[in-house]
Structure 1
Amino acid sequence: MTSPSPAPAAPLISLTWTDHETGYQGHLVVDRLVRGVSSGGLRMRAGCTLEEVTGLARGMTMKEALHYNPQGRYIPLGGAKGGIDCDPRDPAAHGVLVRYLRAVRPYVERFWTTGEDLGLTQDLVDRAASEAGLVSSIQAVYPLLDDEEAARQRLADAFAIEVDGIGLGELVGGCGVAESVLAALDRAGTPYQGTRVAVQGFGTMGGATARFLVRAGLRVVAVADIKGTLANPAGLHIETLLAARDGHGCVDRAVLRADDSELPAGAWLTADAEVLVPAAVSYAVDTANQAGITARWIVEAANMPVLPEAEALLTGRGITVLPDVVVNSGTNAWWWWTLFGDIGADADEAFAHTRRSMRALIDQMLSRAEADDCTPRAAAHALVAERLPVIAERFGWFR
């Protein structure tokens, strides 16, 4: 089996900021620039490290490259990421966020387009960006647009769309994750009906993924949030749970049915399910807890949820890990498809384009994995290694 890709080069920019009021630290890593601009979200969680943000920035470079389409209007950017070591529930969190954005304002204005990630919603990012004196969290990309006014209006219109009570901007990522699951099932000849899924995290990505999978006919038998795991072998009523979430993806237990169970937080890992979807924190699956996993597929909706050493053990046991750089790339791509004008502000068009693109990527990755006798992650890395020089030849290297 092919070994993992070699260690990548150091990022272009790496910095750590310390908040003078609270002592909390924030990080910014720009892995690569394309046409002078990079893309990657801003997360906020207690324990966020520079090493974590560096890995996430590298992953963003890969996600951008994987969605490169020479015929598309959307031209991939470089990869970047921001992270703040602070619990988003901390009363001081908003002030820390504003001060962080104020400190990195020159980068946001020129080089780094950012948005919501773990612990932060786009509304919070937008409000803090405004308070920090920024025009927008993605203003660095504006000079690359043919018609800035029309593009900004198109994206604003898209974010204003709701589908059954949930914003389109929240749903497209889950649509991409769900399509990744369905593509894997189709390749294996596994029917949707009766396939069981356990989801860790019920925020933006996890909740939307659960909705799309249930609507495709799968059964979500476990959902984990910060309070624990909700379970039902017959299937949880996902729409009821979605309607009972708070802003951090925590479900009000008052809506549970008599046959729903409350289990410990880690119970989702050992759920009797064919598919596990880690959609919350990084490093959720390690060498110890992987031993209890019996699922056939782990589909990484979160960034870096499976440690490399754990993935090697899982692979040895015949469990397939579909990597984050492909699986959760739909949200980022949708922003740019919409802004650059590959699609309009329309939910049906957004979902259709996301499904086509994600299915094509999953099929390319799994076909490459079979041909090279390697893991899906190694296959994804190989595709990136082929595409980055093509992008660089067209737009130049900015490292």
Structure 2
Amino acid sequence: MNANVLGPRPSFMEIVWQDDLSDATGYVVIDRLLRGVASGGLRMRAGCTLEEVRGLAQAMTKKEAVHLLEGARYVPVGGAKGGIDFDPRHPGAKGVLERFLDSLSPILRSYWAVGEDLGVRQHDIDEIFERRGWGSAVAPVRRLLGAERETAAADARLARAFSVTVDGIAQDELVGGYGVTVAALTAMRLRGIDPVGARAVVQGLGSMGGATARFLSRAGVRIVAVVDAARVIVDDSGLDVELLLAARDAFGTVDRSRLPGGARELPGDRWLSIECDVLVPAAVSNCIGVSNCEQITAGLVVEAANLPVSAEAERALADRGVAVIPDFVANSGTNAWWWWVLFGDIDGSWEQSTAMLDERIGALTEAALLDAARDGITPRAAALAIAARGLAAIEAGDRALAAGAVA
């Protein structure tokens, strides 16, 4: 099976929304429906575009499809994404978010299971849904469970999963970064990099980047630099990650008055050139392109953000022997975790959550790297082939169900 099934095609649905009370513009793209529904996050950032959201929705379809597993209760759905062109730090941001969700509520309640993304917190989405009486933000996928007893059991698992905290941090804010760490450690093992003492740079200290930095550090990796919206924070001997995480605000910006001893700052555009073994872009899309990829010293790039490396930059990096673990593998843990819990593949405990992430993200990363080495292609191309096989199988199942219904 080739990757043509994932090739260019019209989106199932695209919507452009204009706020009546501000200059905010929003976008929704449902790439395709599988099993009648789609899932994907909603982001808010100044400068967000329809093209960006379209690319993210396509990536969500891949992120779902790679997790098709024979015998699992979770069968992947389609990919969707939302974006709002507005500054999430603006005092009116929550109002913009609520008006966007209100306008899109028919789509949200019928087709699109929505979650958090850059600049939007799950807590705010859930609070708006609860106050408006819309039920669950994942209601479209939840309906696939069918019987009332199944939905009741799923609700209990989700409640348990979202009540779990680890070292005082909610589990749902950790699973994504834990999965990225699994991808990174698997790739390091296959490329002969000893995690203990290896150097890593993490761009972004939100929930994804912060959790990745935490778990890489606990695996023995030396985090020599982190990047927030202000500048780069560097310490060649290794940063005190826990201290930095405790000093960040809701947007992942570190209070400079609380920097650990030995840390120094560099301009924000210096992060790519810092000597390291592993580079983790965990913030914005399209931050690594042909104009700056030559600065990268790492032999391994692990995409914790969505679409951080351009196609042209990835080709240039591949020519230099730099492996890029694609976003739809490395950062797919949060999305898959939701559905593993909902459908009952795991009970929502931290122990089962991490065990499943170890197994699935580890296996996907290993398969992508080994297939790439065997076929002389990039890890992304190998992972796309895995996603294409999954997508073709899911679409075949949808067609069989439709044929049965007509008959």
**Counterpart residue type for residue 248 of structure 1:** F
Classify the secondary structure of the residue corresponding to 1:364.
helix
Q: How far is 1:225 from its partner?
A: 0.3
Q: How far is 1:131 from its partner?
A: 4.4
Q: Would you say 1:31 and 2:31 are equivalent positions?
A: yes
Partner Cα distance (2:170, 2:395) in 1: 35
Match of 2:278 in 1: 275
Q: Would you say 1:140 and 2:143 are equivalent positions?
A: no
Partner Cα distance (1:266, 1:159) in 2: 36
Query: Any residues of structure 2 matched to 1:287-366 within 5 Å, and which?
Result: 287-366=290-369
Partner Cα distance (1:46, 1:128) in 2: 22
Match of 1:19 in 2: 19
Give deviations 1:173-213, integer Å, cap 9, x for gaps.
01110010110111112211111000000001000001110
In 2, are the aligned partners of 1:98 and 1:131 still within 8 Å (CA)? no
Q: How far is 1:345 from its partner?
A: 2.2
Match of 2:41 in 1: 41
Q: Would you say 1:188 and 2:187 are equivalent positions?
A: no
Query: Any residues of structure 2 matched to 1:61-210 within 5 Å, and which?
Result: 61-145=61-145, 146=147, 147-210=150-213
Q: How far is 1:326 from its partner?
A: 0.6
In 1, are the aligned partners of 2:203 and 2:282 still within 8 Å (CA)? yes
Classify the secondary structure of the residue corresponding to 1:210.
helix
Partner Cα distance (2:374, 2:220) in 1: 31
Stretches of structure 1 lacking an aligned partner (at least 5 in a row) = none
Partner Cα distance (1:307, 1:382) in 2: 19
Q: How far is 1:129 from its partner?
A: 2.8
Give deviations 1:83-112, integer Å, cap 9, x for gaps.
111111011111111111111111111100
Match of 1:235 in 2: 238
Classify the secondary structure of the residue corresponding to 2:94.
helix
Q: How far is 1:349 from its partner?
A: 1.1
TM-score norm. by structure 1 comes to 0.96
In 2, are the aligned partners of 1:97 and 1:128 still within 8 Å (CA)? no
Stretches of structure 2 lacking an aligned partner (at least 5 in a row) = 403-407
**Counterpart residue type for residue 372 of structure 1:** D
Q: Percent of counterpart pairs with the same letter?
A: 48
In 2, are the aligned partners of 1:230 and 1:262 still within 8 Å (CA)? yes
**Counterpart residue type for residue 93 of structure 1:** A
Q: How far is 1:8 from its partner?
A: 1.5
In 2, are the aligned partners of 1:198 and 1:222 still within 8 Å (CA)? yes
Give deviations 1:121-168, integer Å, cap 9, x for gaps.
110111233345521211112211141122112112211111012110
In 1, are the aligned partners of 2:281 and 2:308 still within 8 Å (CA)? yes
Partner Cα distance (1:77, 1:387) in 2: 11
Classify the secondary structure of the residue corresponding to 2:115.
coil
In 2, are the aligned partners of 1:66 and 1:383 still within 8 Å (CA)? yes
Structure 2 counterpart of 1:222, from 212, 225, 235: 225
Partner Cα distance (1:384, 1:292) in 2: 31
Classify the secondary structure of the residue corresponding to 1:230.
strand
Q: How far is 1:318 from its partner?
A: 1.6
Classify the secondary structure of the residue corresponding to 2:56.
helix
Match of 1:248 in 2: 251
TM-score norm. by structure 2 comes to 0.94
**Counterpart residue type for residue 383 of structure 2:** A
Partner Cα distance (2:316, 2:23) in 1: 39
Classify the secondary structure of the residue corresponding to 2:86.
coil
1:152–1:308 Cα change, 3 Å: same
Give deviations 1:232-256, integer Å, cap 9, x for gaps.
0110001111111110011111221
Partner Cα distance (1:45, 1:153) in 2: 34
Partner Cα distance (1:78, 1:340) in 2: 16
**Counterpart residue type for residue 138 of structure 1:** V
Match of 1:392 in 2: 395
**Counterpart residue type for residue 247 of structure 1:** A
1:397–1:120 Cα change, 3 Å: farther
**Counterpart residue type for residue 255 of structure 2:** D
Classify the secondary structure of the residue corresponding to 1:115.
strand
Moved more, 384-393 or 179-188: 384-393
Partner Cα distance (1:9, 1:314) in 2: 28
Moved more, 385-394 or 270-279: 385-394
Classify the secondary structure of the residue corresponding to 1:363.
helix
Partner Cα distance (2:224, 2:361) in 1: 24
Q: How far is 1:6 from its partner?
A: 7.9
Partner Cα distance (1:310, 1:394) in 2: 37
In 2, are the aligned partners of 1:365 and 1:376 still within 8 Å (CA)? yes
Q: Would you say 1:56 and 2:59 are equivalent positions?
A: no
Q: How far is 1:5 from its partner?
A: 9.2
Moved more, 112-121 or 139-148: 139-148
Classify the secondary structure of the residue corresponding to 1:33.
coil
Partner Cα distance (1:4, 1:229) in 2: 40
Partner Cα distance (1:292, 1:23) in 2: 37
1:5–1:37 Cα change, 3 Å: closer
1:381–1:259 Cα change, 3 Å: same
1:265–1:18 Cα change, 3 Å: same
**Counterpart residue type for residue 97 of structure 2:** L
